[in-house]
Amino acid sequence: MGKAGAARKLASAAVYGGGGLSVVGGALYGVLTAEAKLARKTIGKIREDPPPDSSGWYGRGRPGPAIRVALLGDSSAAGYGVERVEETPGAMLASGIAEHAGRRVHLRDFAVVGARSSDLGDQVDRAIPVTPDVAVILIGANDVTHTVMPSASVRHLAEGVRRLREAGIEVVVGTCPDLGTLKPIAPPLKQVARAWSRRLAAGQTIAVVEEGGRTVSVGSILGPEFAAAPALLFGPDQFHPSAQGYRSLASVLVPSTLAALGVIPDEEAHVETLRGEGVLPITKAAIEAVRTPGTELDGTEVGGARLGVRGRWVEIRHRRRRPQTVAETPEDADEPETADH
């Protein structure tokens, strides 16, 4: 079965409750489980002190009404490994949105270090009552390192996106990174982790778009820049990003989050064929996104129809990255949230 067929089968099995797609045989599964344990031992124990909480108000001096953002997911969303709040992806994301939208931003950080897709339900429970305009989700890496079947991972993510969209909340999902690039993961797990994480990312993409969200491919931890400068872009454990790595992560999330909010320049409203943008069937687009970090997918229509003979139509975009913003330290998160909203 080709990659496109595998992604379609994985997403369908996850969304409709089937058994899902295994990327390894049963005999190899035990070996890989042992290799995953060894990789986690190499990475080391999770630090007991949590990363700084990025919840709060951003965009000092900018007008309202405030843009409300909820951040959900795992350690890559929480900012594990950094010491200062302005180094967290949440602070960088909220600061970037505030600067480029010209609005105040209130961020609520619900991400939990070590979270898997099965933990998203609790985070969604907490996020919906605060009525964010957009929820940004980063999840999947821990599912791979703990050898969770991709079908189960995608099913949990699809359910979370469905609930958020039913509540009227826009959703942007940064799909599973390519864990085959990480130093603590040795062969044969490295090769399988790459295939596993890429198929998970493709399945996540299909499921999220089907549920009305949009995705941004994280890929090989945001592409060649990580491979070229791992000492700069990975933290000391060589698994979690450094502060500069989180900055690169935020730089690909900000443009798509602005698009989800409808805050983009007029010249970015339509696809640009010269930038490789266009409209594709969902499975083909998902595979393309896995290959090209930073690719955004969102559902669209062709001739007034959402579906073609090859499934859901999607718009594939390569958003221009905004100039990097100097991240702010958030103001008190307990400030009354009813103001300007």
pLDDT digits (tens, 9 = 90+) for 245-256: 788 889 889 999
Residue 188: cis peptide before it, omega within 30 degrees of 0: yes
Residues in CB range of 33: below 8 A, 6 or more apart = 147
Q: What is the residue-averaged pLDDT of the chain?
A: 80
How far apart are the C-alpha atoms of 259 and 257, rounded to whole Å? Answer: 5
Please give the structure tokens belonging to residue 218: 């994280």
CA distance 212 to 199: 20
Q: Which helix (H) or strand (E) holds 170?
A: strand 170-174
Kindly name the residue from 12, 75, 95, 242 that is annotated as catalytic.
Answer: 75
Catalytic residue among 22, 122, 237, 341: 237
Per DSSP bridges, beta strands 214-216 and 170-174 are parallel
Alpha-carbon span 33 to 134, nearest angstrom:
36
Report the predicted TM-score, pTM, of the whole model to 2 decimal places.
Answer: 0.84
How far apart, in whole angstroms, are the C-alpha atoms of residue 114 and residue 77?
11
Distances in Å between the Cα of 177 and the Cα atoms of 153, 204, 218 are 14, 11, 5
Give bridge partners of residue 170 from the DSSP assignment.
134
Q: Give catalytic status of residue 266 as yes or no.
A: no
Active-site position among 240, 242, 256, 298: 240
Q: Are 263 and 334 in contact (CB under 8 A)?
A: no
Q: Per-residue pLDDT for 12 more than 70?
A: no
- Measured CA to CA, the distance from residue 233 to residue 244 in angstroms comes to 6
CA distance linking residue 302 with residue 313, whole number of Å: 7
Confidence of residue 48 (pLDDT cuts 50, 70, 90): low
Q: Position 149: which residue type?
A: M
Residue with tokens 């951040």: 71
Structure confidence at residue 189 (pLDDT): 59
Kindly state the tokens that stand for 43: 């990475």
Q: What is the pLDDT of residue 316?
A: 95
Residues in the chain, how many?
Answer: 341
185 CB-side CA count, 13 A: 22
Greatest mean pLDDT among 13-22, 34-43, 109-118, 222-231 lies in 109-118
| Catalytic site includes residue 75 | yes
pLDDT, residue 271, reads: 85
Query: Quick check: is 12 catalytic?
Result: no
Q: For CA atoms 279, 294, 292, 4, give the dihedral sign.
A: negative
Identity at 6, one-letter amino acid code: A
Mind listing the pLDDT tens digit for each residue in 101-143?
A: 999 999 999 999 889 999 999 999 999 999 999 999 999 988 8
Across 81-85, 295-299, 302-306, the highest mean pLDDT is recorded for: 295-299
Calculate mean pLDDT across residues 178-188. 62
DSSP annotation of 88 reads S
